[in-house]
Amino acid sequence: MSVYKSKASPFYQYDFQIHGHRFHGTTKARNKRDAETVERRLKESARRDVEQLRKTGNAPLTIDMAVGRYWTEKGQYRVARKQFFAALERLVLYFGKDKRLDEIDDEAITALVAYKRAQPRWGKSKLKHAQVKTLSNATINRETIQPLKSIFRRAKLMWGYYLPLEPHWKEHWLREPKERVRELHYHEQEALDRSVREDYLPWFMFLHLSGRRFKETLIRWSDVNMEAGEITTMGKGDLRVWTPITPSIRRILESCRGHHPEFVFTFVAQRSQHGRVAGQRYPITYGGALAQWNRDRARSRVKDFRLHDCRHDRATKLLRESRNLKLVQRVMNHANIATTAKYAHVMDDEVAFALERNAKSRNRPRTIPGIHNEATDFA
């Protein structure tokens, strides 16, 4: 049967069969010529689907089906699973549940990235005390491109789907600014320590001494092994994060005993609201800690210093003292020592010393007019 028009709809309908499989629905076209063009395109797609079903047993895969399967098999086991689930939901919302994975090509990803680059951060078009900024390149890479790439890869390798139009992911990856390394001066460290609210101070000291990432500092007592002298949790990239319990960290942990049965770090509610009772202790949360940090930093008058910079500060000082990149890699829980190498600038004095020592060890030193008794690296 060719395209036809029914009394129930202003659009032409299609109804055809391929190898015993029936396909029918609306072309969403109001004239016959356009409807026949749509039908030809649908028939080509249907033939591919039937052939794929015959070869692999797989029916066409929609973005909704792919996201659901990926979440069941992989996504739900991630450390930041709530944030990852939200990122997957946004992908389904953008494409629509019925968008087929084999129809997502470079053009579709280009449009998606352009859309994301125009979206405001935190989903807010207005802020009371700050200027609205759009999503960063790093956020788009991490929450949009990388999840889609992972889904495509699993669909091909594990589920046996043929995706001939798969985007060239590298071409869509946005350039991210080089991460800076900010080190605290002594007077800045003192100012911050004085400004941190007393009930948040144990957490802040632990964050700074351990060198852990912010999210990795909200530990539970089940993560702490006093006898073995270590704290272990899961962190970035679903990798194990290990921290030794030094005497300083042990004193911090001991000071938190009895505050909460599950979480190590807590705060004292300043007023009764949101189900909390003034004077009672409650676990420190990600949002609560970040808000309190912003207030404390403003009070300290330390400029251009983010909470994550505490980690950079710790790594920089540790490397300057130990001169050991492998040791700092272990403390920072870096998977690749190349990440640790960004702190190597603190050893510039050793580079200068080595250059000068090499200059003095030349076998055939040459005298430069006006400079006496000095070996140079000119031969």
Asked if 252 and 345 touch (Cβ cutoff 8 Å), the reply is: no
Asked if 207 and 214 touch (Cβ cutoff 8 Å), the reply is: yes
Shortest CA distance to 260 belongs to which of 292, 220, 317, 308?
220
pLDDT reported for residue 128? 60
> Are 121 and 249 members of one domain?
no
> Are 192 and 328 members of one domain?
yes
Average pLDDT of the residues in 102-129: 84
> Are 150 and 248 members of one domain?
no
pLDDT reported for residue 301? 94
The amino acid sitting at 269 is A
Residue 93 token pair: 């919302």
> Are 323 and 221 members of one domain?
yes
Asked if 237 and 335 touch (Cβ cutoff 8 Å), the reply is: yes
CATH of the domain at 218: 1.10.443.10
> Are 132 and 35 members of one domain?
no
Residue 161 token pair: 């789907």
pLDDT reported for residue 15? 82
Does 267 fall in a domain?
yes
Does 369 fall in a domain?
no
Does 93 fall in a domain?
yes
Tell whether the torsion through CA atoms of 70, 71, 73 and 77 is positive or negative: positive
Residue 177 token pair: 């600014």
Show which of 35, 56, 77 is a domain's final residue. Answer: 56
> Are 194 and 315 members of one domain?
yes
Does 325 fall in a domain?
yes
Asked if 94 and 156 touch (Cβ cutoff 8 Å), the reply is: no
159-180: per-residue pLDDT in tens? 888 888 999 999 999 998 777 7
Does 344 fall in a domain?
no
pLDDT reported for residue 316? 87
Show which of 334, 351, 374 is a domain's final residue. Answer: 334
pLDDT reported for residue 375? 46
Whether pTM > 0.75 for this model: the answer is no
- More confident: 344 or 43: 43
Top-ranked range on mean pLDDT: pick from 2-6, 9-13, 86-90, 355-359? 86-90
Domain extent at residue 200:
186-334
DSSP code, position 16: E
118-145: per-residue pLDDT in tens? 998 876 666 565 577 889 999 999 999 9
Q: Which band of pLDDT confidence, cut at 50, 70 and 90, is reported for residue 368?
A: low
61-96: per-residue pLDDT in tens? 889 889 999 999 999 888 778 889 999 999 999 999
> Are 252 and 208 members of one domain?
yes
Does 362 fall in a domain?
no
Average pLDDT of the residues in 110-116: 96
The number of folded domains in the chain is 3
One-character DSSP codes across 260-306: -SSBS-EEE-SSSBTTB-TT-EEE--HHHHHHHHHHHHHHHT--S--
> Are 310 and 209 members of one domain?
yes
Instruction: Give, in order, the Cα–Cα distances in Å from 292 to each of 189, 191, 192, 285.
Output: 17, 15, 12, 10
pLDDT reported for residue 167? 96
- Given a cut of 50, is residue 379 above it in pLDDT? no
- More confident: 368 or 247: 247
pLDDT reported for residue 377? 44
- Given a cut of 90, is residue 370 above it in pLDDT? no
Show which of 122, 140, 172 is a domain's final residue. Answer: 172
> Are 123 and 20 members of one domain?
no
- N residues, the chain: 379
> Are 233 and 303 members of one domain?
yes
Say if strands 21-26 and 224-225 run parallel, antiparallel, or are unpaired.
Answer: unpaired
Please give the sequence-ordered ranges of beta strands (E in DSSP) within the chain, or none if there are none. Answer: 4-5, 12-18, 21-26, 224-225, 230-234, 240-244, 266-268, 281-283
Shortest CA distance to 106 belongs to which of 37, 50, 63, 163?
163
One-character DSSP codes across 182-203: ----HHHHHHHHHHS-GGGHHH
> Are 22 and 67 members of one domain?
no
Does 365 fall in a domain?
no
DSSP code, position 163: -
Average pLDDT of the residues in 329-340: 83
DSSP code, position 144: I
Does 358 fall in a domain?
no
> Are 282 and 198 members of one domain?
yes
